[in-house]
Amino acid sequence: MKKVLFLLLTVITVCSCYNDDDLWDKVNDLDGRVETLETTVKGMNSDITALQNLVDALNQGKVIINTEQTSEGYTLTFNDGSKVSIKNGTNGTDAPVIGIKADEDGTYYWTITTNGVTDWLPDADNKLKVTGTTPIMGVDDDGYWTVDTGDGAQPINGADGKPIKAKGEDGDSFFKSVTVNDNYVLVTLADGTSFTLPKGETYTFDIANRDYTLFSSNETRTYLLTTANIDDATLIAIPQGWTAVLNDKDLKITAPAVSGDDVKDGELKILVTPSKAFGKVIKMQLRAVHEARFLTFEDADYKGDANIVGETNWSSLIDNPQYNGPLLYPTTSTLYQWNDKNNTFLASELPNGWGDYKYWGGGHAISNYVETDMANGDYLHQLGVYYQDPITGFGGHNGSKNFCVHYGYKDDSGFTDGAKLPSIYFSDNQARVVDHMYVMWNTYLANCIFNGNSLTEPVGPDGYVKIIAIGFDAAGKEITNHLEFFIANAGGNIQEWTYWDLSSLGKVSKIEFNMAGDSDNGYGFSQPAYFCYDDVAVRF
């Protein structure tokens, strides 16, 4: 565009007597068509995202609790609070139409319609699930329509096998119409496909502490229920050997007998029928071992001896201030450490990363700091978790108060050769299976992932940050199958405390944790190497 204008200005300078009105009209017309085309492409991709969100809502059993008519169409609000805006209209005559269609397996796949002919996208042998890759519409340098299904932008061909020219004046919404009645919303697409989304009132079926699904042998656990606008709830699947009883106020589950290193697991399913919506199946993955113990970091669960400050609780190990405090950055030879003695026997201490046993060299610190404002996402707030329970106001998993914060990493940049990775280990020198833990990012990391800082750029759309768990067997030998947990990647970012299964490491005497990602400022991994963890489960 700039080259065209330069040429025109050159002609005008050489021959000022030339009437350039026609030329400028053409330039202005071209500007207008390019701007229109950009708007059209943006609208198409917005429609594709909206369509994908609608199918996700359908697959997840969401119901519409509010419909708001707008100047362009409707905004639908679902029972989980999410919203989708869709626009009425008919697609332009020259523009391809992205749509969806349910195949014989009942799964929705992307389609594309050109010149009235509808095909699978990208083709019948490589159909894309609507819940997977999102197609991206575009226009190439020659002005032809393209679509990117994950392998780069590809031309869209018409019935004659030739690319379709994007005129920049046609093309509206992929949605043809929206029909709203008392019981459902009917969405009709530009290619003629239609599907129905149910309407209903807000309902609740909440199982308290449903994350705690690792049982000891023969253990019975009662889960309290919170319900509203529910007609019925029925157990429809109970794993073999387990027993379960569902009442109006609670769910009681008893694990089977387990001996030795055996593990008995399965899936429990409950069919919940709301008053004014379709039924929804709630699943719980149950697992039983001979004995399960949990490291919660809660004072009520403290079973060890006096800690480094002479107290018998976890909270006394929380440093204040968060950075350069007396516990994590001591002026004496006192080593910050903790030990879940007489329970899981898991322990940790600051590694001698830089010769001074201080937290800036890495370690695992007990915390209860909650920081939900990214403005506090800096090293001065390094112990803050980017989460707050809506009921308790605390930051730990399942509304608990305390948790642990990892700091430390090592890469091949050459700048961390002297670093030692923080770890958890069994202080009684036994090797056991660490079944799982729950993970969440801290505010410092979250802020830099989204916004960056003076040391790092934000994580891009194809970037990632991950945690690596490195196990060591009973003899202290490193186990080759490291486990990875992605805090942030192209598939999305974690939004709450998230389960991380560590059991495939097998019996370990120690687990070291490292952090890595694609952010590199020239000195190696440049994102803050922090994450929070809580409720570590160990098999006995």
Report how far residue 63's alpha carbon sits from residue 519's, in angstroms, rounded to the nearest whole number: 40
> What local confidence, expressed as pLDDT, does residue 70 receive?
82
Of 418, 413, 487, the closest CA to residue 448 belongs to: 487
Q: List the domain boundaries for the chain.
A: 39-198, 204-290, 294-539
Q: What is the fold of 294-539?
A: Jelly Rolls (2.60.120)
* Contact of 429 with 472, CB cutoff 8 Å: no
What is the spatial distance between Cα 360 and Cα 89, in angstroms, rounded to a whole number?
58
Ordered per-residue pLDDT tens for the chain, 540 residues = 333 333 333 333 333 344 544 544 444 444 445 566 777 777 778 888 888 888 888 888 788 888 888 877 888 888 777 888 887 665 445 678 888 888 877 788 888 888 778 888 888 888 888 877 788 888 888 888 888 888 888 888 877 778 888 865 545 567 888 888 877 888 888 778 888 888 877 678 999 988 899 999 999 999 999 998 899 999 999 999 999 999 999 999 999 999 999 999 999 999 998 876 667 899 999 999 999 999 999 999 999 999 999 999 999 999 999 999 999 999 877 799 999 999 999 999 998 867 788 999 999 999 999 999 999 999 999 999 999 999 999 999 999 999 999 999 999 998 888 889 999 999 999 999 999 999 999 999 999 999 999 999 999 888 999 999 999 999 999 999 999 999 998 767 888 999 999 999 999 999 999 999 999 999 999 999 999 999 999 999
What would the two tokens of residue 86 be? 């869709």
Exposure on the CB side of residue 520, measured as CA atoms within 13 A: 12
Residue whose pair of structure tokens reads 């700048």 in the numeric block: 415
SS3 233: strand
Would you mind telling me the total number of residues written for the chain in this entry? Answer: 540
379-413 burial, b for 16+ CB within 10 Å, e for fewer?
eebbbbbbbebeeeebbbbbbbbbbbbbbbbbbee
Is CATH 3.30.360.10 the classification given to domain 204-290? Answer: no
Helices 21-59 and 2-14 cross at an angle (nearest 10°) of: 170
Nearest Cα neighbor of 347 from 327, 363, 323, 367 is: 363
Number of helical H runs and strand E runs in the chain: 3, 34
Environment class of 22 (CB within 10 Å of its CB; exposed 0-12, middle 13-18, buried 19+): exposed
d(CA 205, CA 201): 13
Whole-number Cα distances in Å, 368 to 89, 106, 222, 392: 52, 46, 27, 13
What pTM does this model have? 0.68
Q: How many CB atoms lie within 10 A of CB 378?
A: 17
Q: How confident is the model at residue 73, as a pLDDT?
A: 80
Which pLDDT score is estimated for 139? 86
pLDDT of residue 89: 62
- Output the DSSP codes for 367-404: E--B---GGG-SGGGTT-BS---TTT---SGGG-S-EE
Q: What angle do CA 100, 103, 109 make, to 5 degrees?
A: 35
Tell me if domain 204-290 and domain 294-539 are identical in fold.
Answer: no
